[in-house]
A = this chain, B = another copy of it.
Amino acid sequence: MAGYKAPLRDMSFVLYDLLQIDQYSNLKLFSEAPRDVVDAVLEGGSKFAEEVLAPLNAVGDRQGCVRNSDASVKTPDGFPEAYKQMSQDGWMSMSADPQYGGQGMPKVVAMAFAEMCSSANMAFAMYPGLTRGAYEAIAQGASELKSIYLPKLASGEWSGTMNLTEPQCGTDLGLIRTKAVPQDDGTYKISGQKIWISGGEQDLADNIIQLVLARIEGAPEGIKGISLFIVPKFLVKDDGSLGERNGYECGGLEEKMGIHGNATCVMHYEGATGYLVGEPHKGMRTMFVMMNEARLGVGMQGLAQASIAYQGAADFARERLQGRSITGAKEPDKPADPIIVHPDVRRMLMDTKVFVEGARAFAYWMAVQADLAEVAPDETTRQQAEDRMGLMTPVIKAYFTSHGVQAVSDALQLYGGAGFTREQGVEQTLRDARISMIYEGTNGIQALDLVGRKLAANGGRAVFQFFSDVDDFVSSHENDDAMALYVEGMKGALSHLKDATMWLMKNGMSNFDNAGAASHDYLELFGLTAMGLVWGRMAAVAKEKSGGGDAFYKHKLATAEYFFRRVLPDAASYVAKVKTGAEPVMALPAEAF
């Protein structure tokens, strides 16, 4: 099984050549993270991911988590020590607010580190990932609770979770039954059953902070009666030390296809003490803040799994000797040529490569927008950044995970029979990655979010801004003949996207089923166009720098060309599918299936 080697050169290309994050050094957030500091952080982070997390990945899959008879949960061997080291070495607090003990690094840097952790060990990385999510939700939604919980979550001393799903409700949270009964002291008693709670119980952290959606007695029906609560495993005394065990326990662990190292818990709450976060009945608002952040994180998992699968496949393709090149032996002194000489092997590698590198550039671009949305001095920049991020969150979540899984599957395919065996590790990567298309809102839900909410928000302001981002790219390079492939490609993709958008505006409002039927293909088209824009920008940078003799830029340019010639042509068929409307999709009665 191949190890993991963090793609630091490519990350650095995205951060400094493409996004040029040093241009923001007028902002405190960025000025306190100059390039040498960022380089050192990513270098150190890569060692942690490669040396501590990666070796535990197969162990986690094989051992899985075990629920003991006392309802405690044992994570795989090595996980508790790795978690402790991650916390103590400060890796968990990277982007947290310095006032709560965080290191205040830009989100884009934290995302690069998170990508490494997820590539090295997705099941493990979910524990700190969800802890960061809980930190954000409490930072956004709570007030007096912040000083108690944020420093402990920032450091990772305590871990965090999200408790949304119940047996009768996943996507449709309006059906939540878990109830919260107000107490005289201002706390609530929480009772009900939650399922599929990642990290709901484990042996990594001293305390577990459950963020629980529940319905306060007498609350309105449906989604407008849902409140958010902090329910710690151990109650916190006034001096911040841990008190008695709260009234809940893990009722069982789910057996699942992958991410065995992450404990997926059934949670039984029986009058557990909970603390309201924000206002009553407004829990979904805070939860959505957390979910949007989490959705970008899940998109990044798709990229991260594709990245590790790509590395292994590339090594295998260079090493495995099998058959001869159809244009004549390339290594005649060996019994056979390495399989990388075969065009169809190249095709799978190139498809995977353009996805991984394009997705990385796209994700980091959005992470910079997340930073700018918070710290840019002018309102226009903040709003534009917010708009981009909001629009692209469902696109990144769904496009990255479905194409990420496809990329892992392509990588597995390249191994032939060896890919199907446990030994090479790539089959685990495929099993682990598959959940990313489902959790934090299935990809179908993301597509509905895009067409039903994001597209129309503020009169379509965000989508028109994206069109103008593409127009800017086109006009910047229109007079450069060497950029014709990219300019023409983006003109074509944009015209398809506008065509599909117009169709949706016209037909999606008159019959909502048209919007629903089109949503998947529209999101695909959107993701493809955004990937095109990112690859076009990378081509421009690489072209400019490729004169210097560094082969990296020449190869980047050739990779961009592959994307434009062999991936972008899919745009036309997405438009055709969007425009069929709901009729063929909905034609059959339910009993005909």
Contact = CB atoms under 8 A, between A and B. Distances in A.
Interface of A: 165, 168-172, 175, 196, 254-258, 310, 314, 317-318, 321-323, 326-327, 335-336, 338, 340, 342-350, 353, 405, 409, 412-413, 416-417, 419-423, 427, 430-431, 434-435, 437-439, 442-444, 447-448, 452, 511-513, 515-517, 519-520, 551, 555, 558-559, 561-562, 565-566, 569-570, 572-573, 576-577, 580, 582, 584-593
16 contacts: A255-B423, A256-B427, A318-B591, A326-B452, A343-B517, A405-B409, A413-B444, A416-B442, A417-B438, A417-B439, A419-B438, A430-B434, A431-B431, A562-B584, A566-B585, A573-B573
A437 B406 CA distance: 13
Contacts of A561: 584, 587
Contacts of A336: 172, 175
A4 to B, nearest CB: 16
Copies of this chain, complex-wide, total 2
Nearest to A171: B322
Output the residue of A353, A585, A591 with the most chain B CB within 10 A: A585
A124 to B, nearest CB: 18
Given A427-B256, A516-B342, A586-B346, A420 B444 contact: no
A342 B516 CA distance: 7
Given A419-B438, A511-B327, A338 B172 contact: no
A257 B582 contact: no
A223 to B, nearest CB: 11
Contacts of A566: 577, 580, 584-585
Nearest to A448: B344
Nearest to A428: B257
A422 B323 contact: no
A516 B344 contact: yes
B573 A444 contact: no
A45 B486 CA distance: 57
